[in-house]
Structure 1
Amino acid sequence: MYSTINMSQIFVLDQDKARDFYVDVLGLEVSNDLDLGFMRWLTVCVPGTKGRDVLLEKPGPPGMDAKSADMVRELVTKGATGFTLGLTTDNIQKTYETLKARGVEFTQEPTTQSYGTDIGIRDPFGNNIRIVQLAETMGKPPASRSSAANAKSRR
Structure 2
Amino acid sequence: MKHPPIIGTLESALYASDLNAAAEFWTDVMGFQEIARVPGRHVFFRCGAQVLLIFDPDATREPPRRDARLPVPPHGTKGAGHFCIAVDAGKIQEWRDYLQSRGITIEADFTWPQGGRSIYFRDPAGNSIEIADPKIWG
TM-score of the superposed pair, with normalisation by structure 2:
0.73
User: 1:31: how far off?
Assistant: 2.0
The question of whether the paired residues in 1 share the 8 Å contact of 2:14 and 2:54 is answered with: yes
| AA matched with 1:29 | Q
Q: Percent identity?
A: 22
| AA matched with 2:34 | V
The question of whether the paired residues in 1 share the 8 Å contact of 2:41 and 2:59 is answered with: no
Return the index of the structure with the highest Cα Rg: 1
Instruction: Give the equivalent residue in structure 1 for 2:71.
Output: none
User: 1:62: how far off?
Assistant: 4.0
Kindly report which structure 2 residues correspond to 1:1-155, keeping only aligned pairs within 5 A, or say none: 1=4, 2-34=6-38, 40-46=41-47, 49=49, 52-64=50-62, 72=78, 75-76=79-80, 81=81, 84-90=82-88, 91-108=91-108, 110-113=109-112, 114-135=114-135, 138=138
User: 1:64: how far off?
Assistant: 4.2
| AA matched with 1:26 | M
Instruction: Give the equivalent residue in structure 2 for 1:145.
Output: none
Change (3 A) 1:12 1:41: closer
The question of whether the paired residues in 2 share the 8 Å contact of 1:89 and 1:95 is answered with: no
TM-score of the superposed pair, with normalisation by structure 1:
0.66
Residues 25-56 of structure 1, C-alpha deviation per residue, up to 9 Å, x if partnerless?
11221122245xxx533111225x3xx21111
RMSD, aligned α-carbons: 2.6
| AA matched with 1:93 | Q
More helix by share: 1
In 1, distance between residues paired with 2:136 and 2:22? Answer: 33
User: 1:97: how far off?
Assistant: 0.5
SS of structure 2 residue aligned to 1:31: strand
User: 1:57: how far off?
Assistant: 0.5
| AA matched with 2:21 | K
In 1, distance between residues paired with 2:16 and 2:94? Answer: 27
Change (3 A) 1:5 1:137: closer
